[in-house]
Amino acid sequence: MPKFAANVTMLFAELPFLDRFAAARRAGFDAVELQFPYAFEPSEIASRLADEGLELVLHNLPAGDWRAGERGLAVLADREGEFQDGVRRAIDYAGVLGCRQLNCLTGIAPEGVDAARLRALVVENLTYAAAEAGRADMRLLIEPLNTRDAPGFYLNRSAQALELIAEVGADNLFLQYDVFHMQVMEGDLARTIAAKLDRIGHIQVADNPGRGEPGTGEINYPFLFAHLDAIGYAGWIGAEYLPRGRTEDGLGWLADARAG
């Protein structure tokens, strides 16, 4: 049976952030993920994880000025120092929180910059981040996003991500496969996941259109969850969606997945 982690940045948003860990446990999750922990002291989050007996399976590197529209720093020239500071900060947080996977959002590609220069910059930054994560015995993930919801996002297809992973050549660099984003960009979900399974470190789910709960859109999640079991995916599946109402009222998909 797949293992599910609640994304407490997006789920249980009706509650204050630090109260969402208890809500995730009450809903039956054994693990959580989150986008950015940096608004809180790591000890505050660690305490909530310990209180609820939850594992934190993923959080992101700092991604620049989110409110200003930045979605990562790896593709931005003259921000290498800030990127490296963010890598070290993320590793420090993850060490306190017991998190073994960090996701790097590559960012919005600046207009008018040569594609080869952008690729070289991303490879350079990922090489640094993967080496630092490796020294801390952590994985680094990279996640393609769809360009409808994140216009101009540099990394937007799974094949592109695997090319970067191969070029960097780090054993601890993996693909974070978000089913929602990849349904928008390329479809063919089951075959793609099976073909790329050895380099997929984490999977996230939401339905399309609307990024709602599994079962609210076009993706056949009962089939997909059974497929993940059949092909031997052993990692976590992050529930990273936008609940259509109270989170607890939309968890029928989780009960169905666990029932098989």
Tokens 């986008």, residue located: 35
How are beta strands 236-239 and 3-7 bridged, if at all? parallel
Distance CA 74, CA 123 (A): 8
In the three-class reduction of DSSP (H, G, I as helix; E, B as strand; rest coil), residue 153 is classed as strand
- 114: which 2 tokens? 């040569």
Is residue 213 annotated as part of the catalytic site, yes or no?
no
Active-site residue (options: 44, 55, 82, 143): 143
CA end-to-end distance (rounded Å), the chain: 7
Is the torsion defined by CA of 230, 98, 176, 137 positive or negative?
A: negative
Regarding beta strands 101-104 and 59-60, do their DSSP bridges make them parallel or antiparallel, or are they unpaired? parallel
- Alpha carbons within 13 angstroms on the beta-carbon side of residue 145 total 18
Q: How far from 38 is each of 43, 92, 127, 210, CA to CA, in Å?
A: 11, 11, 23, 27
Instruction: Report whether 72 contacts 64 (CB < 8 A).
Output: yes
Options 111, 124, 132, 240, the catalytic residue: 240
- Clarify whether 143 is annotated catalytic: yes
Question: Token pair of 203, please?
Answer: 């999977």
Q: What residues are labeled active site?
A: 143, 240
